[in-house]
Amino acid sequence: MPLGKPAGVRCVQLDDAGRCLIFGQPERPTVCSSLRPSLEMCGAGAEAALTFLKNLEEMSRPAPARPS
């Protein structure tokens, strides 16, 4: 996604099972390759992990541009 992935939008590089199609490839975004799973992130399973990532996306969303 050349302009980045907006929060709440599924990454175009995920297959139907949610696996990254460019894992290990040089074009994989740095933010993805630097993200390290942890108990805090993954919780009890996939649902908890997706909730954590959704919250992380929302917290890191750029502020809307102010009118000039």
pLDDT in tens, 22-43: 999 999 999 889 988 899 988 9
Position with higher pLDDT, 51 vs 62: 51
The DSSP element (H or E) to which 42 belongs, if any, is: helix 39-42
pLDDT digits (tens, 9 = 90+) for 7-22: 778 899 999 998 999 9
pLDDT at 68: 74
| Secondary structure of residue 29 in the 3-state scheme | coil
Using alpha carbons, list the distances in angstroms from residue 47 to 1, 2, 28, 53. 24, 28, 24, 10
Predicted structure pTM score: 0.66
